[in-house]
């Protein structure tokens, strides 16, 4: 129920590996799945009120491993297509890598260094974001996008309920 994903646009500069996890979480980690969805909906209600009745979640494990890649890990400035709310959780301890700072555009560019377990939520389809190159070590994140359009796998999540 986990698969490698290479769905990035050809013109997006990136160097990382991605695995899709939403089915695994939904089937085997249901409590965690529901908590992730609920947290994103709560942030949306508090800040944007953008989500109406349902979303299609996309949950990914993303790894920037300089040794495995044979070059710095990176993702260039971009927005997340159709993502009403994007969440990024840093899974690695920052002492395990160099670089990899989350950057966001909005007036002045903001750099948001995360500690292991920290999460950042943002309006994915409008907020341009990127990371500084990971020049050494291994950086891993959990990323969730609550999307407003159908995408494989077609799991629709109703407001307030992780169905």
Domains of the chain (ranges, CATH numbers)? 14-148 (2.60.120.620)
Sign of the CA dihedral 27, 62, 150, 128? positive
pLDDT of residue 8: 59
Contact 55, 84 (CB under 8 A): yes
Task: Report the distance separating Cα 100 and Cα 51, nearest Å.
Answer: 29
Please give the backbone phi and psi of residue 41, each rounded to the nearest 5 degrees, phi first.
Answer: -65, -40
pLDDT at 23: 86
Integer Cα distance of 138 and 97 in angstroms: 5
Nearest-angstrom CA–CA distance, 74 and 100: 8
For each of the chain's 163 residues, which pLDDT tens digit applies? 666 766 655 666 778 888 989 888 888 999 999 999 889 889 888 988 888 777 788 899 999 999 999 999 999 999 988 888 899 999 999 999 999 999 999 778 899 999 999 999 998 988 999 999 999 999 999 999 988 765 554 455 554 444 4
Task: Decide if 100 contacts 132 (C-beta within 8 A).
Answer: yes
> According to the model, what pLDDT value does residue 82 have?
83
């Amino acid at each position: 129920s986990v698969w490698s994903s290479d769905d990035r646009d050809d013109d997006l500069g990136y160097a990382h590996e991605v695995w899709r996890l939403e089915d695994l979480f939904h089937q085997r980690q249901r409590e965690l799945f529901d908590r992730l969805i609920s947290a994103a909906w709560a942030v949306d209600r508090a800040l944007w009120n953008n989500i109406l009745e349902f979303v299609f979640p996309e949950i990914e494990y993303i790894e920037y491993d300089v040794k495995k890649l044979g070059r710095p890990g990176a993702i260039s400035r971009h927005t997340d297509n159709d993502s009403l709310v994007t969440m990024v959780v840093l899974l690695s301890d920052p002492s395990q890598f160099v670089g990899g700072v989350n950057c966001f555009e909005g007036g002045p560019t903001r750099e948001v260094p995360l500690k292991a377990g920290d999460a950042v939520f943002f309006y994915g389809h409008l907020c341009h974001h990127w990371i500084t190159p990971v020049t050494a070590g291994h950086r891993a994140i959990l990323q969730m996008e609550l999307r407003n359009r159908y995408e494989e796998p077609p799991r629709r999540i109703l407001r307030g309920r992780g169905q």
